[in-house]
Structure 1
Amino acid sequence: MPRTAVITGITGQDGSYLAELLLDKGYTVHGLMRRSSSFNTERIDHIYQDPHTPGRRLVLHHADLSDGVALVNLLRDVRPDEVYNLGAQSHVRVSFDAPLYTGDVTGLGALRLLEAIRAGGVETRLYQASSSEMFGSTPPPQNETTPFHPRSPYGCAKVMAYWATVNYREAYGIHAVNGILFNHESPRRGETFVTRKITRAVARIRAGLQEHLYLGNLDAVRDWGYAPEYVEAMWRMLQRDEPDDYVVATGVAATVRDFLTAAFGAAGLDWERHVRFDPKYERPTEVDALIGDASKARKLLDWAPKVHYGELARIMVEADVAQLEAELSGRRVRVDR
């Protein structure tokens, strides 16, 4: 019998890669997307099929993590084997400008989903997308036992969602896990996130369409991995008999400056000629260094990253160069990587 999964945030970077992975494994996938006046499905258009087509199936539902009743009704109707909660307001800098919205969707949204599973009596396994931003100012390396000290409304909301997941696991026996994922990127990353902002600028500067790139703190240290590899870790967490929490990371530290060097270098450019500082991109409270220790995932999930930040930057630059060239020639390009 084919398994069924529900993915919140299916139109995002991780949601699209996870949907591909699950469809390849024979799942029927139900994706939740917010209703809006415009479509935002470009990341999954290539895998969407008519729900009546035999074989691979992807069904989209209009629902929102702010609507607990809709979540209860959907889960009762679908009765999924697995639920992946990837929906959130996930931009750290934006969370300072919209803290209440971030707390509602990212924090309370996870709690509404947990309560929908409990209240609906749905026997399922839940993956909660936790974040390295929960560690905040706690020094690296960070693992599953590292204390949390979030430095943004986003990090605070994720801490709430993390502990709600642990609480519902302990209080109600729900098979729920936290994946504490460190930064993970791809050509499908949103254009306002620093890595994609850099690689898009590289493509435009190379083409002579842009001269300068404006950024904030170049000294922030991050642990950057490749999103398609990280969604594989999500799936592996839910295949284990006992629910637990796992850090997913490369363990390789790189500054924003390091990523700049790799990305501009992939196009034969010198980043120092083009990058300018703009204080508006600095956060009120900065997270200096996030470097993950994924030893537990390596041991128990048999998971290990293959792509590190240098290769990741090259992949993203090549994809953005190809996309820009296609746009300039009037062609439509699909990002598969």
Structure 2
Amino acid sequence: MKTALICGVSGQDGAYLAKLLLEKNYHVYGGSRDAQMASFANLDRLSIKEKIKLVSISINDFRSVLQTILKVKPDEIYNLAGQSSVSLSFEQPVETLESISVGTLNLLEAIRFSNLPIKFYNAGSSECFGDTGSEAADEMTPFRPRSPYGVAKAAAFWQVANYREAYKLHASTGILFNHESPLRPERFVTQKIVATACRIAAGSPEVLTLGNIDIARDWGWAPDYVEAMWLMLQKEVPDDYVIATGKTHKLREFIQVIFNSLGLRWKDHIRTDVTFFRPTDIAEGYANSSKAQKELNWVAKYSMEQVAQEMVKAHLVKTQV
């Protein structure tokens, strides 16, 4: 049996990845800054909390990282930790850079120091690319990030690439485009839309206030994407991969699908507010994940419409329980 350590196990991707690895008969350790006090609601929601060994690890502290690695001796480490909100990164740029970039560096250096044959996955982001216009970004597209979050993820990406080349670590980065699920917290716009639309459908008189609804993104299904993470670490040779559906939609299309599924006219319940606009933002995001399709035999199973509908269904079930 393989052993995996997931840093950031309490988040959306961490929870789905833990579930996948348990199904593949892994021993799964879940890392959190304070495993005794942290909320693991997502693990409870997937009914897997009791099957995971929870450990306290602060990836911003090298000693904490090294002690954990030497204790667990994992075959695979998945780095999904760090500040995960693009909008929040504009308010907390220092915390964002430290939690993502310094945390990744500590993990890489601790793996090197341990001299254990650990395979390492790093959660990259399409935010690294910035605004590529109508060009579909692939692994060779230059980085021009437009947010503190994107800058931090770009730094982490190059750290991983450097350790792979200089120290021969089996280290890979998945450059993931937007991926959603019912486990998203409401600070993410997709879940905010779902939760508000469901309340309106139940009789709430509120109006959904959003920023720029003309932005366009490639939205996928989170459980699909964690499978790609696992596939990367099963390759003999480490590498970086863009993970996406290849289909881009405007936010207003996502909104329309959600409201339509509830029998509502979205234009009757939406208003935009410029104070919700980000200082700098990506107008449109397009992706080319053909390398992952070819080398990992991975393809996204869910469309944006299916993702939106599944999120609505799950929210309705959750609120009825």
1:134 aligns with 2:105: no
Give aligned-pair identity as a percent.
46
Aligned mates of 2:293, 2:173 — CA distance in 1? 16
The aligned runs of 1:80-159 (5 Å cut-off) are: 80-139=74-133, 140-159=135-154
**1:325: Cα distance to partner?**
2.1
**Contact kept? 2:176, 2:243, Cα under 8 Å:** yes
Name the residue aligned to 2:255.
260
- What TM-score do the two structures reach when normalised by structure 2? 0.97
Aligned mates of 2:194, 2:22 — CA distance in 1? 29
Name the residue aligned to 2:184.
189
Name the residue aligned to 1:330.
none
- What TM-score do the two structures reach when normalised by structure 1? 0.92
SS in 1 for 2:48: coil
Aligned mates of 1:168, 1:109 — CA distance in 2? 14
Name the residue aligned to 1:289.
284
1:17 aligns with 2:16: yes
**Contact kept? 1:177, 1:245, Cα under 8 Å:** yes
Name the residue aligned to 1:204.
199
How many corresponding residue pairs? 318
**1:167: Cα distance to partner?**
0.2
> In 2 relative to 1, CA 118–90 (structure 1 residues): closer, same or farther, beyond 3 Å?
same
Which letter maps to 1:157?
Answer: A
**Contact kept? 1:138, 1:147, Cα under 8 Å:** no
Name the residue aligned to 1:306.
301
Q: Unaligned stretches of 5+ in structure 2? A: none
Structure 1 runs (4+) greater than 3 angstroms displaced = 36-39
Aligned mates of 2:66, 2:137 — CA distance in 1? 35
Aligned mates of 1:260, 1:312 — CA distance in 2? 12
Name the residue aligned to 2:28.
29
Aligned mates of 1:28, 1:19 — CA distance in 2? 10
Name the residue aligned to 2:244.
249
Name the residue aligned to 1:227.
222
Q: Unaligned stretches of 5+ in structure 1? A: 50-56, 327-337
Name the residue aligned to 1:74.
68
**1:32: Cα distance to partner?**
0.6
Aligned mates of 1:121, 1:76 — CA distance in 2? 10
Aligned mates of 2:61, 2:101 — CA distance in 1? 13
1:48 aligns with 2:43: no
Aligned mates of 2:34, 2:274 — CA distance in 1? 34
**Contact kept? 2:32, 2:38, Cα under 8 Å:** no
CA RMSD of aligned residues (A): 1.2
Question: Which stretch of the first structure deviates more once superposed, 131-140 or 259-268?
Answer: 131-140
Deviations 1:244-275 (A, max 9, x none): 10000001110110100011111111111111
SS in 2 for 1:151: coil
Deviations 1:77-109 (A, max 9, x none): 111110000001010010000000000001111
> In 2 relative to 1, CA 70–219 (structure 1 residues): closer, same or farther, beyond 3 Å?
same
Aligned mates of 1:184, 1:254 — CA distance in 2? 13
SS in 2 for 1:80: coil
**1:187: Cα distance to partner?**
0.5
